[in-house]
Amino acid sequence: MRRSLLALACLSLNTPAAFALDHTLPLDFLNQPAGKERPKGDRNHEVIYGEDDRHEVYDVEDAYRQAAASTVALINTALLKQKGKFLKLPASPTGVDRQWCSSERFYEQPSPAFCSGFLVAKDLIVTAGHCVEGEPGQSCDEIAFVFGFDMESAQSPRLDIPAEDIVQCKQIVGKQLDPDSKMDFALLRIDPVEGRKPLKLRRDGAIGDGESVTVIGHPSGLPTKVTKAGKVRGNQNPVFFTTDLDTYGGNSGSAVFNTESILAGDPVVEGILVRGALDFVQGKRKWDKAAGCLVSNRCGDIGGAACRGEEVTRIGAISQQISELGGSDDANAPPPSPQEPDEDGVSGTDREGDPALQNILDGIKAQSR
């Protein structure tokens, strides 16, 4: 029987030492022979370079928010609970669950996401290959893609998600996780979504050395964060490039953008965040050591085993495959106008009996049988 992705992901959220699908694989995993057991506890991979540059969606410019609107959190359907017209996400504080020191940013925020992804066609999501169990042609209905999982304010995570902002994974239509080439990506089919603009992709050439990059995703499974102060720091490999972006496990599958394209109002994806350096280390303060808690690994610059940089699969290397699956062809089309609310203030797709909501609930029930 196929090993349950739900079981793995739920284990990862509750057991610090366990392998989890919600974390970026360490660089040395991709140097291991195929079939060797994956390392345990790989939630601790990726890092802060210089100052922590993670920003909330509500606290960035409109151009970044528009790019974020086409990104998703990957969440196990078992975590979704019905609440009237909505599906509710869990609210447990990440710092408690992950044994963070109380000084860590975002300590109180929830972290239901196990990876990140982004929309490249109305019916196609891109993420990292190591985020998805299974092979092309197999079902992936244990994964829900959630748009708009972010912070509404400093104290208020968006946990009640309307049905139109959640779509269930249907099938793996492309995937590669190669320990030799280090290629890492997955292409996942969904039912078509409306009101979200598929992202543009770089189709040829390569981003330049030192160019500015932005990553939008779910570090440690948290609500969406925008990190916009990264630079391309290594650009020789044809499969991936290296950056100094501040990313964590959970950012796996995040869209990495050319920052200038975002600011120009025409965001272009350069790649998929797939792996990086060590995330967390033992807290050094006396009381942190006594508590046995973790703090973010901080690097002044790239260098050494603990600060080796964050690697990004080049989207151009898989753009042809995406095109063959219908991806990004309508990236220039404007999203449709939002539905007008009814007299009670609720849009027509956001009420009891909504087919989209019922389909998700039916899928969850089917998996529990």
pLDDT in tens, 307-328: 778 999 999 999 999 999 986 6
pLDDT band, very low/low/confident/very high, at 15 (cuts 50, 70, 90): very low
Say if CB 331 and CB 199 are below 8 A apart: yes
Reported as a single tens digit per residue, the pLDDT across 34-75 is 232 222 333 434 466 767 889 999 999 999 999 999 999 999
Q: What is the pLDDT of residue 137?
A: 96
Q: What is the pLDDT of residue 138?
A: 96
pLDDT band, very low/low/confident/very high, at 298 (cuts 50, 70, 90): confident
Q: What is the pLDDT of residue 328?
A: 60
- Distance separating alpha carbons of residues 318 and 224, to the nearest angstrom: 25
Segment 225-239 shows an average pLDDT of 94
pLDDT band, very low/low/confident/very high, at 305 (cuts 50, 70, 90): low
| CATH, residue 137 | 2.40.10.120
Q: Exposure of 158 by Cβ count < 10 A (0-12 exposed, 13-18 middle, 19+ buried)?
A: middle
pLDDT band, very low/low/confident/very high, at 28 (cuts 50, 70, 90): very low
Long-range contacts of 258-262 (CB under 8 A, 24+ apart): 258/202, 258/207, 258/211, 258/212, 258/213, 258/214, 259/211, 259/212, 259/213, 259/214, 259/228, 259/230, 260/211, 260/212, 261/200, 262/63, 262/64, 262/67, 262/214, 262/228
342 or 198, which is more confident?
198
Reported as a single tens digit per residue, the pLDDT across 69-79 is 999 999 999 99
86 or 43, which is more confident?
86
In this model, does residue 247 exceed pLDDT 50?
Answer: yes
27 or 297, which is more confident?
297
pLDDT band, very low/low/confident/very high, at 103 (cuts 50, 70, 90): confident
Q: Which structural domain range is residue 63 located in?
A: 5-368
Lookup: tokens for 29: 């995993």
Segment 130-151 shows an average pLDDT of 97
pLDDT band, very low/low/confident/very high, at 152 (cuts 50, 70, 90): very high
Number of separate domains in the chain: 1
The overall average pLDDT reported for the chain is: 79
